[in-house]
Structure 1
């Protein structure tokens, strides 16, 4: 159990470049739609309740299940499905960059273990990851990579979803701290306030059937499109 918890923490905060993206928050701060801890909290809560991150969390679950049984057809299907849900090029490229980085990190960590003659965890997943990366032509969505990594480290579904949602919230809370700006204490209080909604969203996502996966993310799409042409930016486009 302790090893799984440590693996979850490592996965949730893996160096995949998430810190360089604001997912539209930068453009919302510029227009004044987000200008305080309260408005940032409202945006993140609404996103957890209705937004695209719910869809991504559902894809994490399906990728984890597919990776566990070596179902490359399902991985490719859900990867293409996840790509189709990205409403802007900026969001799509972000997901691909983070996903590629994560699966390559997973493979690199395995090679280190092999070079040390240590027994890697879930050895069958290496072939799966390699074949998937090749078939996906490096267009691996982050939610898919996260699910594969969770399966590789034998992380349970509920823990994986909680880790995914929390790492997403922590990254955007950090973006808000820099952009509004907020103090670090306010940022940490925001994450504490979001815990209940994160837990609720995780439970809902775990119960979703495939045809129930949906979101209302037009606000994110508009913010992302505005960010692409924003004159001055701290975050990556």
Structure 2
């Protein structure tokens, strides 16, 4: 499908990746809550290190690669189905699987209000990154803009979670988002030219925190 005019594509991304879009992103921290409780993240500086690691070597990097592949495969049912299955299989914990599948299903349901088609091979268990990539392509929204907007929204959600967990204040959160702009743009550019061969991570502590959160007694978030 041809790409939409820049402004129309931007408006769709702003709507789809807004905190108000009904995917329930506010309920998840991706293991950050366990990291805060374990004091791996305890300040604006350690949160910055956490987010940089996820963007360059962890789950956010892999999400960007999967989104890009789903965007390219949107018109090829079998290829898109394989990407969706791979994304689900890569979930490293039960909570991670819950997070990506519930948000992905909610995104597909809400995005069906737009005229661009939602690929039939995707269901309510589709990983969030795959759902966003495929729907953006079906609506003619460019890949580079979609990846950048997705990563910015994901980082913004984690900063918001950290604020609610008392790690930093709102002014520090805004400053951190400003600092991370260049890194987000850099990782989005890499994702555009990536392939599935680029999948991989080196974030053992983050993975452990996601697992530990499953048995955490007192918590604000579902992951």
Superposition TM-score, scaled by structure 2 size = 0.92
Deviation (angstroms), 1:79: 0.7
Question: Which consecutive residues of structure 1, in runs of 5 or more, have no partner in the other structure?
Answer: 111-119
Q: What does residue range 34-45 of structure 1 map to in structure 2 within 5 Å?
A: 34-45=41-52
Q: 1:22 aligns with which of 24, 29, 34?
A: 29
What SS does the aligned partner of 2:121 have? helix
Q: 1:2 aligns with which of 4, 7, 29?
A: 7
Deviation (angstroms), 1:152: 3.0
Per-residue CA distance 1:109-132 (angstroms, 9 max, x = gap): 14xxxxxxxxx3x4xx24xx3x21
2:162 corresponds to which residue? Answer: 176
Deviation (angstroms), 1:211: 1.6
Per-residue CA distance 1:90-139 (angstroms, 9 max, x = gap): 001110000000111122x14xxxxxxxxx3x4xx24xx3x213xx4x32
Is structure 2 residue 103 aligned with structure 1 residue 98?
Answer: yes
Question: Which consecutive residues of structure 2, in runs of 5 or more, have no partner in the other structure?
Answer: 1-5
What SS does the aligned partner of 2:73 have? helix
Tell me which structure has the larger Cα radius of gyration.
1
Distance 1:92 1:235, change over 3 A: same
1:218 corresponds to which residue? Answer: 204
Is structure 2 residue 106 aligned with structure 1 residue 62?
Answer: no
1:194 corresponds to which residue? Answer: 180
Count of residue correspondences: 216
Deviation (angstroms), 1:224: 0.7
Q: CA RMSD in A?
A: 1.4
Q: What does residue range 37-186 of structure 1 map to in structure 2 within 5 Å?
A: 37-67=44-74, 70-107=75-112, 109-110=113-114, 120=115, 122=116, 125-126=117-118, 129=119, 131-133=120-122, 136=123, 138-186=124-172
Per-residue CA distance 1:161-201 (angstroms, 9 max, x = gap): 00110010000000111113321111111100111111111
Aligned 8 A contact 2:133 2:146 in 1: yes
1:207 corresponds to which residue? Answer: 193
Deviation (angstroms), 1:3: 1.2
Deviation (angstroms), 1:153: 2.7
In 2, the alpha carbon distance for the partners of 1:211 and 1:236 equals 31
Deviation (angstroms), 1:149: 2.0
In 2, the alpha carbon distance for the partners of 1:236 and 1:52 equals 17
Superposition TM-score, scaled by structure 1 size = 0.87
